[in-house]
Structures are given as structure tokens and as C-alpha cells.
Structure 1
Amino acid sequence: MCACPVTLSSPAALSDWNGVIHGLLSHGQQTPVHLGRLMEAEPDFAMGHAARGLFCLMTGRAEVLPSAHDALKAAKTSAAHSTITPRETGWITALDLWLHGKPTAAIYAVEDILRALPHDTLSAKLSHGIRFMLGDSAGMRRSVERILDAHTADHAGRGYLLGCHAFTLEETGEYERAEQVGLEGLSLTTDDAWGLHAVAHVHDMTARPDCGIALIENNTAAWDRSNNFRYHVWWHKALLHMERGELDIALGLYDAQIRADKTDDYRDISNATSLLMRLELEGMDIGPRWEELADFSENRVEDGCLVFADLHYLLALTGASRGAARDSMAARFARDASKSGEMPARVEAPGKAALAGLTAFSEGRYDAAFADLAAARPLMQTIGGSHAQRDVFERITIDSGLRAGRYDATSAILRDRQKTRGGHVDRFAATRFEKINTARGIAAQ
């Protein structure tokens, strides 16, 4: 698909490899089908084994680690018995480094590939994905912008790379340009769920829900055949309806779409828990919905793959009052934070403070919650995800401050949040500023 060298021996295998590439770029449902068929036909394809291992790691699930190690072993064995390209070697190296707790070094291995092959959209998407999990928005942008010129008008992957570029622009605060680039990418590749979602992010951050809802409804081709990423698109739509004050519609989307499939994928759990938390903060009774999410989250207490995932599991555990599981997660955080490495460092800070703050909030200890969450706040981007995803923790921090009567400090956080959003005041901020002004007025009387 991107004219990069690959050691495959048959046109059919190459067709399936192109299917893997297209599937990864478009978040398509058929990606594992193509990869499975390819590896059955070409069991010694080293890059295919490396891809399988890397895809495992991107799921953020502890139980797939043995499969990822098996994939690495198979990739190295295949490489030792054949002549492979530097690109394929780079993917094996990236898998090896990430498996050994060095995701940043894995990114550098992929970037080495892109320096030699700047038109390699697949490797660009891999770098983009790992950086996203580390919260490295500036690095994501630099990576994409280094290779934009190599993705010329006739490049089959140009639209997908523009979708990635749009997301990096949005995450680094260039909202107008992000929208323009994202829409240009969608005009080239109508099935780019990531590019569509990048523009939806712009509408969320700039408080333009009507535009965002219309975007999603008018571009169904971008997401209706995607994998579980389509649930994330529905999550965005629910947030946009919340911005319009349509809480009942948001909850309806939760039941009909966002949790239509009761999966335990951390991305699906994060969609669900963060939406329910937002709705509860707005005073909505969400009934017994926490229970189903808590059942899955209890099984994830010892995972420890991503702080981002852990904190969303914690929302479910506290929402359903699973105190024993919550305490077990706190104990595991303490153990993980004592280890060395990139991910344990994120558990140490901001993970431990964020977990303590969320726990305190669930128990009504709002002053302690605000202190811990405010302490975690400067490093929260490092847990990964997007501004929109991490905003649930911002909202809890702000509401903790309000309930604790910490009006000056809370106002400062609200203004900083507004600055991140390009000066736009969304419904959440407007209502919280109003509550602060009302409380100050009462205090003055």
C-alpha cells in the first residue's frame, strides 16, 4: 500500500499484508483476519510476527504479554533463518524494547525506519500509537510533520496521515488548522475513523456541539465498519450532546451504542466509565450501570499496563462501591511505583496521587480529593490518552474544589482549562464559574 520493501513470496500474501496495513490505518474490523491468513500462508514472515506482538501490546492487557513474547521469539527465529529488510528488523527491535519496559526506545526504533522510509505510513501509525499511549502529543506532531512531504498527493496513505496530523494539531492547541487538515484527510480517505475523531475533538475543545454532531452523523463511512473504535466515536457524540444539555440522549447512546457490546477492552471501559462519571457530576442518576463495569474492572486490578486504564477501572470500582478491589489496586500501585522504568515512574507520579484523589472523592472527602488531584494534575498528560479523555479527571478535580470550598484554587484550574481550550468556555466551565460566583456572593452576605 505504501511501496515499502517487504519479504513476502506471493501476490496473495502481499494482498493480505496490504489488508493489515489498511486495517490498522482505518481501524478496520478485518485486520486480524488478514494477519491470520497471511501468517498461515507465510509462517516465516518475521515482520508479521512482530506486528502481532506489537498489536498485542497496544491492547494494554496483561494477559496478552505471553503472546507478545511468543511473537518476538518467532520473529527473531524467522529473521535468523532468512534475509529481511532493515524496516522489518526495526519492527522486531521495537517489539523487543517495548516488551522490556522501554516504550520510548521502541519509538526511536520506529523513527529510525521513518528516517530511511518517510513514506512508510504503517510505521508512522505505529509511532503515533505508542506516543499516544505515553501522552506525547508534541512528539506525535513532530513525527508526522517530518514525513508529510513524502506523502504526496498520489500516496495511498496521505489521507490517513493527514488524520494523524489533525489529531496532533488538536492536541497541541491549533484547533482551526486541525479542523482544516482533518477534513482534507476525510475527503481523501472517507473510512478514516481516526481523522474523523480528530475533528470531533476540535468541536469538543471549542464547544461547538452542533458541528460535531453533524460531522459524525454525516460521515458514517468513517466509523460504521470500524472495530471497537466506533464505540469511541459514539462516546464523542454523547459528549457533544452533553454539551447541549441533552443528558438523556447521552445516556441513551451509552445503552444503545457505547456499551452495546459488553467488552472488557480498556478503551471501551474508559469510554463507559468516563461518560457515567460525567453524567453523575451533572446530577444524573445512572442506576445500576456501574456494576457491570466494576465486574470487569475487578479482574483488572493487578494488570498494571497503563495508568490511564487503571484510573478508569478505579472509577468503576468506586462507582459500584467495590472497596476491597479498590484497596487492592492502591496496594498494587504502591508496589509498582517502587520499581524502575518508564511505566512505574508514571505510577509514582501522577498515578498514586490521582488514585488517592479519586478514592477520596468517592468517599466525600473533598478537601483531600482536591489536594491529591491538584497535585497529580501537572503530570496527568503522561498517563496517555487525549485532552478530552483526561478531562473527566479535570472535572472531578474542579468539583472536588467546589465542594471543599476552595474557590480561588478551583477558579485558577478552570481558567487554565479554558486556556487549553483556546479560550472557549464550555457548558461545564460556565456552570462551575456560576457556582463559584454564587458561593462567593453568599459568603459576602
Structure 2
Amino acid sequence: MRTDICTCPVTLSSADALEDWNAMIVAFLAHGTQTPVHLGALLTAEPEFAMAHAARGMFSLMMGRAELVETARQALASAQDLQRQTEITAREAGWIVALARWLDGSPTGAIAALEDVLATFTADTLTAKASHGIRFILGDSTGMRASIERVLSAHGDDHPCRGYLLGCHAFTLEETGEYKAAERVGHAGLALAHDDAWGLHAVAHVHDMTARPDLGIALIEDNTAAWSGSNNFRYHVWWHKALLHLDRCELDVALGLYDAQIRSDKTDDYRDISNATSLLMRLELEGVNVGRRWAELADHSEKRVEDGCLVFADLHYMLALTGAERGSAQDAMMARFARDAKKSGDMPVRIANPGEAALAGLNAFAEGRYDVAFRHLATARPAMQSIGGSHAQRDVFERMTIDAGLRAGRFNEAEQILHDRLAVRGGNEDRFAAVRFDKINYARRIPAQ
């Protein structure tokens, strides 16, 4: 039996097919544009390879698009048919179980299946990255870190994918507040995997969270090889750069990056929509008039009202809808949340809490009902990590909560959230926090009328 780049046995019959499989693994780890190309070539050459079908299904679900759920179901059916017809490895069978569980509404069950695979195949970087990705979708930062650290020892200096695993480790360290270690591990990973966009972005997160925008901007500009050739993840790196310029109060630069890079392709990928909507909202909170930019995002978001794949995506769609004042679509989203919250499964739980409260808060904020917005957003806060994404991505909702509190005159409560936010960032005060603390101190000096 042949062995792939992760030192795992694979039921592939030809060297060419193995080459496609290995190329697909590296492209997936690097967020490369060629992932579907290599996977497609492999499925054409060896359509009887069950794990390739399972991978196609898993990658489809990671896209967070309702129409791709059927693609994933078809991939599962193909994989299961092949499993019944041929002998496959435990790793390949584990991926089929993971896909089936996710389609059954349990991404947590999918993670458990992938972790079972990793317990046997500890050098399996592909499975480690897949588990990492699903945990990221669920906001499980401690689980992400534990998972990666369990397989670190199997990724020694001679492992061809070690750099990519270090990039994942760096991100988990950053998301769990170990900023110095994250920066060190991230740079070590980039030295081995020069095209690791995820590892680069992990270090960019560190500079964001530690309020060092100059270093973050330099990091991104000096390491274009790590991300310029990646898939739409490159827009996310541009987004990080815009946030760093925002922290330097270079609002015009941030808006310029929005037009020239972040929305250079007007896609409806939820990750691209989230980059765009969260940046526009941050700019609006700083008093920038973003003009009609909301309308383009709302046009895409209106078509996603009934998707219901990810709460993280839905809340960013709602930012677009409220920004463009699409009242009927906002109402439809609220109604769909109310329906979905009554269902069973990992996502309905998150829709019920914090989704419904957060959604109501976004609506109220857009309508200028800041006290109501604050109450709803503050109610959602304790569970917001469960919607997935990173601290930096969810920070747009934290900023809106704080600003809603300030506009509603809830200075003590807003101040406490600012201190909570400061603690998560290791005590490093960014410009947003400094400006808001100044506003609170100024307001307290004004005598009551």
C-alpha cells in the first residue's frame, strides 16, 4: 500500500494519483487556489478512492453555503458505496464517519471522528487541519490548541508538513492568549512553510491583539509570498492589514484597502462578506461615511437569509442588511432564527444562544435604539465565542456593544466591557479602547442637567 506525505497509508493504485493527493494536501494546508484542482484531478483518475469523496464533502460543508450541503450528501453517498465495495483504511473510514456526522447536524461529532483518526495517525497533518478548521467554526479555541498539541511530537523536523502544523499551533496559542509564544511559533512555521497564509495571519493576530499595528503592517508587507497566491483567504489578510491601519487612525487607508483589495472581487463567500461588513461597521463606528458600499453586500446577503449554515455568517449578513436598510430581509432573518432555534443540533443551539439576542441587538443598533441594542448584545456576549471565528473577527460585535452602551449612557457597564476586552488582549490598550475610555471620562465630568 502507498503512503502519502503525512506518512499515512492510502488505497491509491498509481503514483500519479498519489502525487495529486499529496499536492491537494499541501494546497489545503496553505489555503491555496489549487486545492479543488488537484482534488478534481484525483477523482477523475481514481474515482474509487473513497477518502477523496469524503474530503470533497467535508470541504463543501466548510464553505458554509446551503446549496453545497447537497454536494456533500452526494459525496457521502459515493464514499459509502465505495466503502462497501472495497477495503479501505481506518483513516479513510474515519473521514466518512466525520462527514456523515456533520451532515447529521453534529460538527462536534465530526470532530470526534477526526480525533479518533489522529489518535492512530498522529502524523496526519491533513486530518489535524480539518479538525482545526471545524473547531474554528465552532469557536473552540481550547480544543483547537489541545488537538494540535497532541500531534506536535509526531511532526518532527523531518516532517514535510511541520511548518503548516506550527502555523496552526501559533493560531491556537494566540486565541488562548499566549501571545509571545504564538509570535515565536508563527515565525518558526513561516521559516519552514513560506506559503502558509494561516501561519502568517496567526502572527498578524498577535500584533492586532497586542496593539502593535506597525509590526503587523510590516509583517504582512514583508511576507507577501505567504498569502498573495492563496485563495480568497488573501482578502482576509488584506482585512487584517486594514484593521492595523485603523488602529493607527489611518481611516482613509483602511477604506482604500476595502475598495482596492478586500472587495476587489464581489463574491458572496461568507468569509468575504464577513471581512467587508465588519470593516465597514468599524469604520462607521469611527464616524466614516461609507456611502453605498452596504448595498452591494446586502444584495448578496438577501439571498442568504434562509441559509442557516453558520451563525457567524448570518450575523455578518445581518450587518449588511441593516447597513443597507433592507427591512423585509431583516424581518425574514429574525423569523428564520426563531424557527431554527427550536430545532435540534449544534447550530440550532447557537442560534438560540447567542444568535437570537445578537441578531436583535444588531437590528436595534441600526435603528438607533441603543439601550435596547446594548441589552440584547450584552445578553449575547457570554456565548459569542460559540459562533466561531477569532477574537479579532468577533470584536466588531464587542465594539458595537460598547458603543451602544456609551450612546445609551450606560457608562459603567460599557467601561466594564472595555476592561474585559482589555484583559483578553493581555492588557494592551488599542486606539479603540483609548478613545472610548476618554469618552467615558469626559462624560463623567459633565454635570447632570
Q: Does 1:220 align with 2:224?
A: yes
What amino acid sits opposite 1:301 in the alignment?
A: V
Alignment of 1:160-179 (within 5 A): 160-179=164-183
What is the distance in 2 between the residues matched to 1:53 and 1:443? Answer: 62
Q: Does 1:416 align with 2:420?
A: yes
Write out per-residue CA displacement over residues 173-219 of structure 1, whole angstroms, 9 at most, x where no aligned residue.
00011000000000011000000000000000000000000000000
Q: 1:353 aligns with which of 349, 352, 357?
A: 357
- Which position in structure 2 is the counterpart of 1:203? 207
- Which position in structure 1 is the counterpart of 2:319? 315
- Which position in structure 2 is the counterpart of 1:397? 401
Q: How far apart are residue 444 of structure 1 and its match?
A: 6.0
What amino acid sits opposite 2:393 in the alignment?
A: Q
Alignment of 1:360-399 (within 5 A): 360-399=364-403
- Which position in structure 2 is the counterpart of 1:144? 148
Q: Secondary structure at the match of 2:10?
A: coil
What is the distance in 1 between the residues matched to 2:293 and 2:247? Answer: 22
What is the distance in 2 between the residues matched to 1:360 and 1:444? Answer: 26
Q: How far apart are residue 333 of structure 1 and its match?
A: 0.2
Q: 2:445 aligns with which of 438, 441, 444?
A: 441
Gaps of 5+ in 1: none
Q: 1:232 aligns with which of 236, 242, 246?
A: 236
Write out per-residue CA displacement over residues 216-260 of structure 1, whole angstroms, 9 at most, x where no aligned residue.
000011001100000000000000000101000000000000001
What is the distance in 2 between the residues matched to 1:420 and 1:44? Answer: 48
What is the distance in 1 between the residues matched to 2:228 and 2:315? Answer: 29
- Which position in structure 2 is the counterpart of 1:61? 65
What is the distance in 2 between the residues matched to 1:172 and 1:279? Answer: 27
What amino acid sits opposite 1:372 in the alignment?
A: H
Q: How far apart are residue 342 of structure 1 and its match?
A: 1.2
CA RMSD across the alignment: 0.7
Q: 1:293 aligns with which of 293, 297, 307?
A: 297
- Which position in structure 2 is the counterpart of 1:183? 187
What amino acid sits opposite 2:202 in the alignment?
A: A
Q: 2:83 aligns with which of 69, 79, 86?
A: 79
Write out per-residue CA displacement over residues 90-149 of structure 1, whole angstroms, 9 at most, x where no aligned residue.
000000000000111110100011110110000000000000000000000000001101
Q: 2:40 aligns with which of 36, 42, 52?
A: 36
What amino acid sits opposite 1:153 in the alignment?
A: D
Q: Secondary structure at the match of 1:443?
A: coil
What is the distance in 2 between the residues matched to 1:386 and 1:253? Answer: 21
- Which position in structure 2 is the counterpart of 1:265? 269
Q: Does 1:49 align with 2:49?
A: no
What amino acid sits opposite 1:23 in the alignment?
A: A
What is the distance in 2 between the residues matched to 1:28 and 1:341? Answer: 31
Aligned residues: 445
Q: Does 1:110 align with 2:114?
A: yes
Q: Secondary structure at the match of 2:254?
A: helix
Gaps of 5+ in 2: none
What is the distance in 1 between the residues matched to 2:69 and 2:150? Answer: 32
Q: How far apart are residue 416 of structure 1 and its match?
A: 0.2
What amino acid sits opposite 1:361 in the alignment?
A: F
TM-score (norm 1): 0.99
Give the ranges of 4+ consecutive aligned residues of structure 1 lying more than 4 Å apart after TM superposition: none
Identity among equivalent pairs (%): 71
What is the distance in 1 between the residues matched to 2:260 and 2:345? Answer: 41
What is the distance in 1 between the residues matched to 2:64 and 2:247? Answer: 30
- Which position in structure 1 is the counterpart of 2:31? 27
